[in-house]
C-alpha cells in the first residue's frame, strides 16, 4: 500500500501548514503575557490557518495539516479569544465545517450537526468532569456516569426516517446545512431502508467510513484503471459518498456506525448507552467497543483499552468520545455555539516513525509559494507507507520559527541524509517532527533554500512577515499558471466535468490547442474550429468525450458570483471569504467596481471592504491587489467576458423572537444556572450583556434583582421573570 505516496507531491497549492508547526510550538506559551497588539497579530495568523485548514479538510476532502497540528492551532486560537473576546467575532473557531459543495441539493438539518471539543490528556478529562459538575451544581461525590465510544475517523451522516422509512440522508456540510446524498446512502449495506418499530420521526447520526482492507483494494483497483487514488480511508469514504452518480457510491465498500441522533418524535431511551442499544435494536450498526463508565477514571481506562486495539481494528479511529450518559443531564448541559457541553473527544497521539531523508524537493504552488517536500526512504507510519512529507518552509528546515525567529527542535536543522521522525495523524500530508543528530552522516551539509524559482528561474523573494518564499514570475511561471488553472476547475470552483488536474497539464503543454489561462477554457470549442476534430484522438479523448467536455464547459458559463471569486485563486480568498464578498457586493459589476475603486488602507471603498464581518486587512489587500495588478486584472477581464455571473443574495436574518436582541440577566434564577441561561439565549441568537444600557432589549429578573431591574424600569426596558423567560425560549 502506498497511500501517502505523492500526497505531498503533485503540485501542492498554498502550504496551509506553513507556519502551523511553529504555531503548535507556541501553543503551550501562556496567553496572559500577550499585549493586545501581539494577540491580534497572532490571532490573525491563527485564524487564517484554521480557516484554511477547515476549508481543506471539509471542503476539498484534502486535508493539509495534521489533526494534532490543527488541534494545537485551534487551542491557541481559543485561548487568545478567551482572553481577548473582541477577536472572537470574526473567528473561524466557531465554524464546524466548510460551506457545502453546490453540486448536491442543500438540506437544512432539523437539528444542527455539531462538532466536538477535544481533550489531549488525562487532566483534560478530569477538567471536563469538573466543569460538568460545576455547571450542574453536583458535588464531587455525586454519581455521574459517562459513555466511552471510539471516535470513528470518517464523515458524519444524518439519516432521516419517517414512519420507519429512510427518506433523506445528508452530510454535515457547515453543520446547519448539508448535502442531500440520499441516493448514495441507500447503497450502503449498513444503512437500513426500513426500520420496524421506529418512532414516527427518527434522525440517526453516525459515521460513514471505509475499512483498511477495503481501502487498499479500492486504491489498487483505481490505480489499475488509471483512476484517482485516495490518500487515506477517510478521503476515500468522503470521495465515494459525495458522488453525483450513486452507482459509483454503490461500487464503493462504505460502512456506517450509528452513535447519535437528531430530531426524534419520542425519546429513544433515558441514557446514551440505552439509546445506542435502541439504535442497534433497529438494525443499525453500532460500535461494539462502546462502554459505560462511572467517572473520569473509568473513562481513562476505556481510552487505554480502546487505544490498545487501535492498530488491529481494521478501520481508523482517532480517539475516544466521552459523553454524559444521562440524557436528561445532556439536555440541561446543552450546547455552546458548535459543540455540546456534555461530550468531548479524547484524541490519540499522532503516529510516529523514523526514516532517512533522501532529498528535499521544491514545489511551486498557485500563489508562487516555494514548498519544500521531504523525499523519504519509505516507512510505515500507522499502517500507511510514507515516502513524502512536508517541511513547511525554509525556517522550519533551519530549526527556527518563521514568525518569531525563536528556535524550534532546540535549533536542530534538517539536512539531506539525516534520520528524521515522521508523523501523521490519519488523514493528512505527513510531517517531519524531529531529527536525530547522533545519526547524522559526517558529510551532511546545511540545506540551502533556493532564491530562484526552480520552475521558471525568476527570483523567489520572501516578504517581511511572510513565512514563505515566493516566485515573482507570476503568470510567466508555468507552475503557478498550471496550479491556478487546476484550482480554477476544481470541485468547489468551476468544477468542469472531464477537465481535471491531469487534463489541465495536458492542455497547458499543448501547442496546437492550449489552455494557459481560464478564459481559454471558454474559447476551446471555438478554437477547435470544426469542433471535436482536432481534440479527438488525443490523450484519452474520443469523439464522445470531446463532446461531453464542450458541453460541460458550456454549462459552466453561468456561474454564481461566490464560486467565480473563489475560482480566481486570489491569495487568502478561500470559499468562505468568497461567499462573504459575494453576499456583500451581490453582483459582479458591484464587486468589480468596488475593487477597482478601492485603495489599500484608505477611502470609503476600503473601509466598506474591511467592515465585512470576517474580512480582515490581509485578505482585503490581497483582493484589491489582484484587481490592480495589470496582468492579473487583464486575465480576469478576459475571463469574465465569457461568463454569465449569477448574483448572490444577502443572508437572511434569524427568525427566533430573541434573535439579535440584547438581554441582561439579574437576580437569582431558580430553574437553571446563569451559565445555562446565557447559553440558551445565545443559542437562539441573542446577545447577553452584563449591565443595563439603552441598548438592552429585555431584562430577565429573578428574586433579589436590585439596581439592574430599577435601571431597566427607568429606561422603559421590558423586565420579565424566570417563568416568562422559560415560556419565551420554549420551556
Ligand atoms: S458525537 C453532538 N460520537 O467526530 C455530538 N461523534 O470531531 C455529535 N465522530 O462530527 C458527535 N465518532 O463526525 C460522536 N462516537 C462518536 C463519533 C463522532 C466519530 C465524529 C463526528 C463528529 C466529529 C467531531
Q: Looking at residue 18, what is its pLDDT?
A: 36
Query: Going edge to edge, which strands form the sheet with 662-666?
Result: 687-689, 662-666, 698-701, 718-720
The top-level CATH class assigned to 477-516+523-556 is: mainly alpha
Q: Which residues pair with 324 in a beta bridge?
A: 146
Q: Is 60 exceeded by the pLDDT of residue 5?
A: no
| Helix (H/G/I), strand (E/B), else coil: 302 | helix
For 335, which DSSP code? B
User: For residue 172, which atom of ligand 1 is closest to its CA?
Assistant: 10
Q: What is the SS3 assignment for 245?
A: coil
Please tell me if the CB atom of residue 321 comes closer than 6 angstroms to any atom of ligand 1.
Answer: yes
Nearest to 635 by CA among 584, 590, 569: 569
CATH classification code of 2-99+350-439? 2.40.50.140
Look up cell 437539528; give the residue: 111
Please return the burial class of 465, using the count of CB atoms within 10 Å of its CB with bins 0-12, 13-18 and 19+. exposed
**pLDDT recorded at residue 608:** 93
Q: Do the beta carbons of residue 369 and residue 18 sit within 8 Å?
A: yes
Same fold, 106-347 and 662-728: no
What is the distance in A from the centroid of ligand 1 to the CA of 413? 38
Residues 6+ apart with CB under 8 A from 593: none
Could you tell me the pLDDT band of residue 402, with boundaries at 50, 70 and 90? confident
**pLDDT tens profile 174-185:** 888 999 999 999
Which ranges constitute the DSSP H helices of 533-616?
Answer: 543-555, 561-567, 575-585, 588-597, 603-610
Neighbour-count burial of 534, counting CB atoms closer than 10 A to its CB (0-12 exposed, 13-18 middle, 19+ buried): middle
Atom of ligand 1 nearest to the CA of 343: 5
Pairing of strands 662-666, 698-701: parallel
Which residue has its alpha carbon closest to ligand 1 atom 12? 151
pLDDT at 482: 95
Closest CA to 125 of 349, 344, 350: 344
Whose cell is 473576546? That residue is 85
Q: What is the pLDDT of residue 651?
A: 57
Q: How far apart are CA 515 and CA 119, in angstroms?
A: 48
- In the prediction, which pLDDT does 471 show? 94
**Which residue has 487505554 as its cell numbers?**
304
For residues 701-722, give the mean pLDDT: 82
Residue 579 CA to ligand 1 centre (angstroms): 27
CA of 344 to the centre of ligand 1 (A): 9
If pLDDT is split at 50, 70 and 90, which confidence band does 676 have? Answer: confident
How confident is residue 716, by pLDDT bands cut at 50, 70 and 90? confident
Q: Is 661 helix (H, G, I), strand (E, B) or coil?
A: coil
Predicted confidence (pLDDT) at residue 355 exceeds the cutoff of 90: yes
pLDDT digits (tens, 9 = 90+) for 510-534: 888 899 999 999 999 888 765 455 6
Higher pLDDT, 351 or 178: 178
> Does residue 156 have its Cβ closer than 6 Å to ligand 1?
yes
Nearest residue to 69 via CA among 14, 128, 26, 12? 26
Q: Strand 687-689 and strand 662-666: pairing? A: parallel
Residue 36 has pLDDT above 90, yes or no: no
Mean pLDDT of 690-707: 84
Nearest to 201 by CA among 169, 168, 160: 160
Average pLDDT in the 604-610 region?
Answer: 94
Q: What is the mean pLDDT of the chain?
A: 85
Note whether 393 and 399 are within 8 A (CB).
Answer: no
pLDDT at residue 92, as a whole number: 58
pLDDT digits (tens, 9 = 90+) for 37-63: 677 667 767 776 776 666 565 545 555
Q: What is the pLDDT of residue 520?
A: 96
Tally of residues, the chain? 731
CATH number of this structure's domain 560-646, picked from the four choices 3.30.420.40, 3.40.630.30, 1.10.150.20, 3.40.190.10: 1.10.150.20
Higher per-residue pLDDT: 63 or 257: 257
Q: Is 151 a catalytic residue?
A: yes
The response to whether residue 191 sits with its C-beta less than 6 Å from ligand 1 reads: no
Topology (CATH level 3) of domain 106-347:
D-amino Acid Aminotransferase; Chain A, domain 1 (3.30.470)
Instruction: Calculate the alpha carbon distances from 454 to 360, 372, 397, 448, 571 in Å.
Output: 12, 11, 18, 13, 21
Report whether 84 contacts 40 (CB < 8 A). yes
Is the Cβ atom of 60 under 6 angstroms away from ligand 1? no
Nearest to 612 by CA among 588, 628, 625, 594: 594
> Which pLDDT band holds residue 690 (cuts at 50, 70, 90)?
confident
> Crossing angle of helices 588-597/575-585, nearest 10°?
100
Residues 6 or more apart whose Cβ sits within 8 Å of residue 312: none
Beta strand spans in 129-254 (E) = 146-152, 155-162, 165-171, 177-179, 201-209
Asked if residues 258 and 314 have their Cβ atoms less than 8 Å apart, the reply is no
Q: Which of 424, 434, 474, 403 is nearest to 631 (CA)?
A: 474
Contact by Cβ (8 Å): 645, 559? yes
Percent of all residues in the chain with a pLDDT value above 90, rounded to a whole number: 52
Q: At residue 578, what are phi and psi to the nearest 5 degrees?
A: -60, -40
**Quick check: 9 pLDDT over 50?**
no
Give the full edge-to-edge strand order of the sheet including 155-162: 165-171, 155-162, 201-209, 255-264
pLDDT value of position 86: 62
Predicted confidence at residue 163, as pLDDT, reads 95
Test site for ligand 1: of 147, 157, 207, 315, most ligand atoms within 8 A of the Cβ: 207
* Residue labelled with grid coordinates 437569582: 668
Residue 37: CA atoms inside 13 Å, Cβ hemisphere, count? 0
Q: Which set of grid coordinates corresponds to residue 405? A: 525567529
What CA–CA distances, in Å, run from 401 to 45, 394, 429? 14, 10, 20
Per-residue pLDDT reduced to its tens digit, 85-96:
666 655 555 554
Q: Is the CB of 207 under 6 A from ligand 1?
A: yes
Centroid of ligand 1 to alpha carbon of 206 (angstroms): 7
Nearest to 669 by CA among 638, 715, 704: 704
pLDDT (0 to 100) of residue 262: 96
| Residue range 625-667, pLDDT digits in tens | 999 988 889 999 999 999 999 998 875 544 467 777 889 998 8
Q: Where are the alpha helices (DSSP H) in 66-211?
A: 67-83, 122-136, 182-185
Q: Which residues pair with 490 in a beta bridge?
A: none
- Residue 25, φ and ψ in degrees, nearest 5: -60, -35
pLDDT, residue 496, reads 93
234 touches ligand 1 (CB under 6 Å): no
CA angle, 193 then 198 then 199, to 5°: 130
Architecture of domain 662-728: 3-Layer(aba) Sandwich (3.40)
Residue 604 falls in which region: left (phi positive, over 0), alpha (psi -120 to 50) or beta? alpha
Write out pLDDT tens, residues 117-176.
Answer: 999 899 999 999 999 999 999 999 999 999 999 999 999 999 999 999 999 999 998 888
Q: What residue ranges do the domains of the chain occupy? A: 2-99+350-439, 106-347, 477-516+523-556, 560-646, 662-728
- What digits encode the pLDDT tens for the residues 525-576? 888 765 455 666 666 677 788 888 999 999 999 999 999 999 999 998 988 7
pLDDT value of residue 56? 60
The string of DSSP letters for 438-507 reads: GG--TT-------SB-TTT--BEE--TT-SS-EES-GGG-HHHHHHHHHHHHSTTTT--TT--HHHHHHH
- Report the candidate in 359, 362, 353 with the shortest Cα–Cα distance to residue 415: 359
**With contact defined as beta carbons under 8 Å apart, do 671 and 707 qualify?**
no
152: Cβ below 6 Å to ligand 1? yes
Non-local (6+) Cβ contacts of 225 within 8 A are none
Looking at residue 711, what is its pLDDT?
Answer: 83
The single residue of 74, 151, 347, 708 carrying the catalytic annotation is 151
Amino acid at each position: 500500500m502506498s497511500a501517502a505516496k505523492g500526497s505531498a507531491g503533485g503540485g501542492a497549492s498554498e502550504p496551509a501548514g506553513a507556519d502551523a508547526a511553529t504555531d503548535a510550538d507556541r501553543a503551550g506559551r501562556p496567553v496572559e503575557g500577550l499585549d493586545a497588539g501581539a494577540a491580534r497579530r497572532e490571532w490573525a495568523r491563527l485564524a487564517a490557518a484554521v480557516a484554511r485548514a477547515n476549508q481543506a479538510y471539509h471542503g476539498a476532502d484534502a486535508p493539509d495539516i495534521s489533526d494534532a497540528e490543527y488541534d494545537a492551532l485551534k487551542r491557541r486560537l481559543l485561548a487568545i479569544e478567551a482572553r481577548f473576546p473582541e477577536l472572537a467575532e470574526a473567528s473561524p473557531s466557531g465554524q464546524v465545517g466548510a460551506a457545502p459543495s453546490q453540486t448536491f441539493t442543500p438540506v437544512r438539518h432539523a437539528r444542527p450537526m455539531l462538532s466536538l471539543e477535544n481533550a489531549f490528556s488525562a487532566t483534560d478529562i478530569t477538567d471536563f468532569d469538573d466543569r460538568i459538575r460545576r455547571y450542574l451544581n453536583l458535588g464531587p461525590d455525586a454519581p455521574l456516569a459517562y459513555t466511552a465510544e471510539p471516535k470513528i475517523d470518517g464523515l458524519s451522516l444524518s439519516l432521516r426516517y419517517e414512519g420507519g422509512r429512510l427518506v433523506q440522508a445528508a452530510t454535515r456540510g457547515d453543520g446547519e446545512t448539508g448535502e442531500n446524498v440520499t441516493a448514495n446512502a441507500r447503497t450502503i449495506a449498513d444503512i437500513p431502508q426500513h426500520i420496524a418499530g421506529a418512532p414516527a420521526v427518527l434522525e440517526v447520526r453516525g459515521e460513514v467510513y471505509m475499512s483498511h482492507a477495503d481501502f487498499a483494494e479500492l486504491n489498487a483497483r483505481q490505480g489499475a484503471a488509471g483512476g484517482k487514488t485516495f490518500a487515506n480511508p477517510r478521503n476515500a469514504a468522503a470521495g465515494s459518498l459525495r458522488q453525483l452518480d450513486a452507482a459509483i457510491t454503490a461500487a464503493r465498500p462504505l460502512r456506517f456506525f450509528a452513535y447519535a441522533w437528531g430530531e426524534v418524535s419520542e425519546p429513544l431511551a433515558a441514557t446514551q448507552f440505552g439509546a445506542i442499544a435502541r439504535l442497534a435494536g433497529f438494525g443499525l450498526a453500532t460500535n461494539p467497543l462502546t462502554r459505560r463508565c462511572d467517572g473520569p477514571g473509568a473513562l481513562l481506562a476505556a481510552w487505554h483499552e480502546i487505544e490498545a486495539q487501535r492498530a488491529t481494528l481494521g478501520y481508523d479511529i482517532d480517539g475516544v468520545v466521552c459523553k454524559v450518559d444521562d440524557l436528561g443531564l445532556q439536555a440541561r448541559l446543552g450546547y455552546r455555539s458548535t459543540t455540546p457541553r456534555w461530550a468531548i473527544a479524547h484524541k490519540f497521539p499522532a503516529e510516529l516513525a523514523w526514516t532517512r531523508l533522501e532529498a528535499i524537493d521544491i514545489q511551486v504552488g498557485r500563489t508562487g509559494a516555494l514548498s519544500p517536500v521531504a523525499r523519504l526512504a519509505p516507512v510505515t507510519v500507522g499502517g500507511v507507507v510514507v515516502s513524502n512529507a512536508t517541511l513547511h518552509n525554509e525556517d522550519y528546515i533551519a530549526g527556527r520559527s518563521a514568525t518569531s525567529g525563536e528556535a524550534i527542535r532546540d535549533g536542530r536543522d534538517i539536512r539531506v541524509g539525516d534520520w528524521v521522525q515522521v508523523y501523521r495523524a490519519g488523514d493528512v500530508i505527513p510531517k517531519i517532527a524531529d531529527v536525530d543528530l547522533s545519526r547524522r552522516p559526517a558529510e551532511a551539509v546545511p540545506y540551502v533554500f533556493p532564491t530562484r524559482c526552480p520552475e521558471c528561474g525568476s527570483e523567489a523573494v520572501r516578504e517581511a512577515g511572510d513565512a514563505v518564499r515566493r516566485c515573482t514570475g507570476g503568470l510567466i511561471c508555468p507552475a503557478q499558471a498550471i496550479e491556478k488553472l487546476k484550482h480554477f476547475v476544481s470541485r468547489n470552483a468551476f468544477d468542469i466535468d472531464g477537465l481535471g488536474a491531469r487534463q489541465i497539464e495536458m492542455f497547458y503543454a499543448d501547442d496546437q490547442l492550449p489552455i494557459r489561462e481560464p478564459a481559454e477554457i471558454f474559447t476551446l470549442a471555438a478554437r477547435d474550429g470544426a469542433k471535436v476534430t482536432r481534440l479527438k484522438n488525443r490523450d484519452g479523448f474520443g469523439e464522445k468525450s470531446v463532446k461531453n467536455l464542450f458541453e460541460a464547459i458550456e454549462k459552466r458559463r453561468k456561474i454564481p458570483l461566490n464560486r467565480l471569486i473563489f475560482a480566481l485563486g486570489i491569495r487568502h480568498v478561500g470559499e468562505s471569504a468568497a461567499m462573504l464578498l459575494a453576499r456583500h457586493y451581490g453582483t459582479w459589476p458591484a464587486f468589480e467596481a468596488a475593487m477597482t475603486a478601492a485603495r489599500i488602507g484608505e477611502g470609503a471603498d476600503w473601509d466598506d471592504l474591511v467592515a465585512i464581518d470576517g474580512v480582515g486587512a490581509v485578505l482585503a489587500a490581497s483582493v484589491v491587489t489582484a484587481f490592480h495588478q495589470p496582468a492579473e486584472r487583464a486575465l480576469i477581464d478576459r475571463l469574465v467576458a465569457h461568463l454569465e455571473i449569477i448574483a448572490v443574495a444577502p443572508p437572511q436574518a434569524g427568525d427566533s423572537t430573541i434573535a439579535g436582541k440584547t438581554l441582561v440577566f439579574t437576580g437569582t434564577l431558580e430553574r437553571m444556572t446563569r451559565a445555562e441561561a446565557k447559553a440558551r439565549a445565545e443559542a437562539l441568537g441573542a446577545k447577553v450583556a452584563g449591565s443595563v444600557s439603552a441598548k438592552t432589549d429585555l431584562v430577565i429578573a429573578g428574586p433579589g434583582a436590585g439596581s439592574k431591574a430599577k435601571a431597566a424600569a427607568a429606561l422603559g426596558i421590558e423586565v420579565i421573570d424566570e417563568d416568562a423567560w422559560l415560556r419565551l425560549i420554549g420551556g
